[in-house]
Structure 1
Amino acid sequence: MRLALLRWSVTVLILGSSVAVAREPDEPAVRNIYLSDDPSDTASAVYVAGGVGTLLRFDQPCDPARTKLLDWDGRFEPLLVNDRTVMLMPLHDLTPGDRFLLSVGLKDGQDLPFVVTASNYRVDQQVNVFMRPESTEAMRAALADARARESALFEENQRRKKEETSVDHALAALVLKGAFEQTRFFRTRSWLLKGDEADISVRSYSGIKKAALVFEISNHHGAQPWKLLEARVSLASTGESRPFALRVGQDAIHPGTTGAIAIIADESAFRSAKGLDKLVVDIFRADGLQQAQAVLEWRPQRD
């Protein structure tokens, strides 16, 4: 019996963090910090980014005369202290190795220490600092945090249940492990793409009404692990999201190690209202920067 296979041309682009544009967040990045009276507690970290304001909001008034950011000159705009809020505005991006001590004085005489730094994976737009965990406002915030965690766990469990019964997710798991003898995929092309912080080996595969891509990431950053934020598959002409199966080898690829991501797209994902279309596959790392992009064009043939 003659089986329909997929054949496509693939263009793969590597986009380094120096030129990629960060993905805009869907909602403001708001985080709650609950302080305690334990003297062993360390200073809380606040994560900032150049040109992005970070607002610290307290449950009691601040003292502008005693609120200071050490060694800020040339790196930040002057602090703005207004009633119960403190605004930080870095002039340029920091690195995770940068540390600035922020001491916030409160009208009741307390001084609260914070470490202002950067992270490859988060930026705080607002930090709510609760001095009294038993207060009504703090308890409401804690309840909202708990509900958000519960919702995220529920969505993760639903996703895992769906994956357990999905043929494409099973195929992605086999492709990720290199068990091609258990599939009908064969390699069509491969590339080695070099970046400032990671090298990416990209391999494309054809199957029976299926397409597969494997991204193998070698992290040579000096300190930071490489983490996947998300992968997207969309139609080239409209940007419409298309279904796909994703498998990730590990949550974090540590410096000096290699990890892989496998993506499976069904033949139906290439179809639009106007007929066959190209698929665009985008890979975003955890700080929101686009790391790679692949464009798949499907052309059916007979084996």
Structure 2
Amino acid sequence: MWMPLPMKSVLLGTLLAGAAMAEGREQLAIRTLFLSEHPDASPQRVYVRGQVVTALRFDARVKPVRARLVGGDGRFEPVGIVGRTVVLEPRRDLDPDEAFSLLVTLADDREVPFLLRPPGRQARGSADQQLNVFEDRGSQDAVASALVDSEKENKALRAENERLHKEEVSEDHALAALLTAGAVAQTPFGVAAHFSGQDDGASLDATVFRGTGKAAVVFKVKNHHPVHSWSMKSVRLVGTSDARERAIAVRSSAAVLVPGTSGVIGLVVDGSAFLDSGTLTSLSLELYRQDGRLQAIVQLDPALIAK
């Protein structure tokens, strides 16, 4: 739905609440799982997403002979077994409170349970695309797979620590925090435009701010869904001419909005983001919700950073 703004056509605001526009392709998500030696152990969790194939690749010595879903009829494509790999594909995203059991019978007649769940915060919002499943933790292949997992985790932790350190000393993040707290008077910004939109799950009010050398946007979000929580998965700032992703400072008042609650997201864009090879260009600010779908777009014009 197009939302006209109370100013010249240099700005354009759009709310796509619930629109089925997916975020960019995720990096391949591969994890290592080890079969438990205890028959009463809790099932291993497998994170799945609609129309995303998840493959459980077993060690050759524990090759599966069959697999079946419990209670997932009509929700998944038929479960496949190719060599030593079990292939899953949900037809649509699972609801946050849904879970299904996958029972895999191995060549020695053992039945191994797995719990199929939608990606949560623990899974960093990503579906499992490949799971390497081992019985012997000490085998060469198992050790190599676990080592790759550890290296990826350590790399992610180092990147997160570096990001947090940069934010601690960032002027833009400090300004975003003030906007999120409602302390607009303590910032150099003035209101440029305001627009709003709503679907059956959430309503958003967006305010666009102009400032000398910087621009900002504040989203006020209310979760109207009777059951499901709302959260921001990510924000992207790209050029409308070159689609190159730019840096943006983001602060939010709450990580998750349970049904009936509201929150604020403050975003600050430095003037340098508007430059493309020395020429000023418009930017597109994209807000993605917890399921990876595009929730809102705000087009930002270079006039916002004029002196």
TM-score (norm 2): 0.84
Please list the CA deviations of residues 94-132 of structure 1 after superposition, one character each: whole Å capped at 9, or x if unmatched: 434544332111112311012334447332222222223
Per the alignment, residue 135 of structure 1 pairs with: 139
- Give how far 1:297 is off: 1.4
Q: SS at the partner of 1:196?
A: coil
Where does residue 88 of structure 2 map in the other structure?
A: 88
Partner of 2:33: 33
- Alignment partner of 1:162 out of 162, 166, 181: 166
Distance in 2 separating the partners of 1:93 and 1:157: 31
Aligned length: 295
Q: Judging changes above 3 Å, is the alpha-carbon distance between structure 1 residues 269 and 122 closer, same or farther for their aligned structure 2 residues?
A: closer
The offset of 1:9, in angstroms, is 4.3
Post-superposition offset of 1:256 = 2.3
The one of 231, 235, 239 aligned to 1:227 = 231
User: In the alignment, what sits opposite 1:15?
Assistant: 16
Letter in 1 for 2:219: F
Q: 1:146 to 1:225 in 2, by over 3 A?
A: farther
The answer as to 2:270 corresponding to 1:266 is: yes
Q: Where do residues 33-182 of structure 1 align in structure 2 (5 Å cutoff)?
A: 33-59=33-59, 60-64=61-65, 66-119=66-119, 121-182=125-186
CA distance in 2, matches of 1:125, 1:218: 32
Match of 1:298 in 2: 302
2:144 maps to amino acid: R
Return the alpha-carbon distance in structure 2 between the equivalents of residues 72 and 180 of structure 1: 50
Cα 1:239/1:301, change in 2 over 3 Å: closer
Stretch moving more, 168-177 or 121-130: 121-130
Aligned 8 A contact 1:102 1:114 in 2: yes
SS in 1 for 2:11: strand
Contact 1:200–1:218 (CA under 8 A) maintained in structure 2: yes
Answer whether contact 1:237 1:277 (CA < 8 A) is retained.
yes
Over the residues paired in the alignment, what is the CA RMSD in angstroms?
2.7
Match of 2:193 in 1: 189
How far has the Cα of 1:301 moved from its partner?
A: 9.2
Residues 135/263 of structure 1: CA separation in 2 closer, same or farther (3 Å cut) = same
State the one-letter code of the partner of 1:172: A
Amino acid at match of 1:21: M
Is this contact kept in 1: 2:34–2:133, CA < 8 A? yes
Point out where structure 2 has 5 or more consecutive residues left out of the alignment.
1-7
Separation of aligned partners in 2, 1:16 and 1:300: 25
Please give the residue correspondences for 1:193-212 in structure 2 after superposition, counting only pairs within 5 Å: 193-212=197-216
User: How far did residue 11 of structure 1 move?
Assistant: 2.1
User: What is residue 4 of structure 1 aligned with on the other side?
Assistant: none
Q: Secondary structure at the match of 1:200?
A: strand
Q: Determine what percentage of the aligned residue pairs are the same residue.
A: 36
CA distance in 1, matches of 2:305, 2:38: 69
Shift of the 173–132 alpha-carbon distance from structure 1 to 2, 3 Å rule, reads same
SS where residue 217 of structure 2 aligns?
A: strand
- Which runs of 5 or more structure 1 residues have no equivalent in the other structure? 1-6
AA aligned opposite 1:207: G
TM-score (norm 1): 0.85
Q: Is the 8 A contact 2:241 2:281 kept in 1?
A: yes
